[in-house]
Amino acid sequence: MDTLSLRDLGPNWYATVMGTAIVANAGAVLPVQPLGLRAACTAVWGLSALLLGVLLVARAAHWIHHPDRARAHLLDPAVAPFYGCLAMALLAVGTGTVTLGPDVVGEETAVVAGAVLFAVGTLTALAAAVVVPYLMITYHRPAPGSASPVWLLPVVAPMVSAAFGPLLAERLPAGHGRDTLLLACGAMAGLSGLAVLVTLPLVFARLVHHGPLPLALAPTLFLVLGPLGQSTTAVEKLADAGGMAVLAVVYGVPVMGFALLWLALAGLMVARALRHGMPFTMTWWAFTFPVGTCVTGAAGLAAHTDLAAPAWLAVGLYVFLVVAWAVAATRTLRGLVSGALLAAPRAPLPVTARTT
């Protein structure tokens, strides 16, 4: 691939890494583990790590050879929030490295590599959670009623760190180091969760007052599931680490209930968009990672309650996740070969009137 073809390679492409890695990570924690599932998940994790490496190189080449476009992406309100995807891609692959990597590279190597990905991913997540909102306030100045679910991407990234950190903490000896890591994860869960509580009402208000999103952006409604499922997963892991398992149920049950409500609403909106000719774009990857976080959240509830309902919910959502990933990956590969997808994300249409 020549450098010219990378001119419009935006940070939204990291969604392919996130969507692939979550297939592996969610499958590894399913309450039902059929023969061969772990081996398949390990292979998918390997694919996600390969994709991450390729994209890191490609994006570095983009910044080197097309710095004007790179800066334009950062200053574009439709593109800048996708910088949260870089952090989540690093953290999603890192989670798989710790949970599935030992089967391939051994426990010590996997934990060290996972720790590096956690550190880099967390710093990137915190930077995105601060810089992108700062740019929105000082430079982007989005118009009233233009809120998009994409705005959640940079602020939810620290929540992915909060869910990953306890996996590393449990491998540390008891002491200040372990406690500090868990405290930091709790703080990141809090800052991310409160930021989502500020952002989500803006998104819902936009839908109520201005109608459905443009057809190409309809899949982004699934992004709302990300902070819901990821926060449930994070709280479950932090609760276990702190010996407060009941907190996982007290928090997880109502939040997953709201996630199912939003899933139904988003599903109806996407079905409507499909009837009106919704085209394939990179936004279809929104059907993967957010749903995968709900799989891990439901699987955690199944483990904490020993009930069949959350277990079957996790399995059902995982089936949807795998199908969505297969469709998105196939269509993306086709668009990549044809060159049709190597363009910057399009800005949302004006919101002065309802779409039909």
**Domain interval for residue 241:** 3-338
Q: What's residue 202's pLDDT?
A: 94
- Is 231 a member of any domain? yes
CA-only gyration radius of the chain, Å: 19
Taking a C-beta distance cutoff of 8 angstroms, is the pair 254, 228 a contact? no
Instruction: For residue 156, give the nearest of 231, 50, 75 by alpha carbon.
Output: 231
- In this prediction the pTM is 0.93
Q: What's residue 343's pLDDT?
A: 54
* Residue listed under structure tokens 């994709």: 51
What total number of domains does the chain contain? 1
CA distance 284 to 217: 9
Average pLDDT over the chain reads: 92
CA angle (79, 291, 349) in 5-degree steps:
35
- Is 345 a member of any domain? no
CATH code for the domain in which residue 33 is found: 1.50.10.150
Q: What's residue 347's pLDDT?
A: 46
- How is residue 54 written in tokens? 């390729």
Taking a C-beta distance cutoff of 8 angstroms, is the pair 260, 222 a contact? no
- Is 353 a member of any domain? no
Q: What's residue 350's pLDDT?
A: 43
Q: What's residue 4's pLDDT?
A: 56
Q: What's residue 47's pLDDT?
A: 98
Q: What's residue 344's pLDDT?
A: 47
Q: What's residue 355's pLDDT?
A: 41
Where the chain has pLDDT below 70, the residues are: 1-5, 343-356
Taking a C-beta distance cutoff of 8 angstroms, is the pair 124, 160 a contact? no
- Is 350 a member of any domain? no
- How is residue 110 written in tokens? 């996997």
CA distance 282 to 220: 10
- Is 355 a member of any domain? no
* Amino acid identity for residue 354 in this structure: R
Q: How many CB atoms lie within 10 A of CB 274?
A: 12
Q: What's residue 354's pLDDT?
A: 43
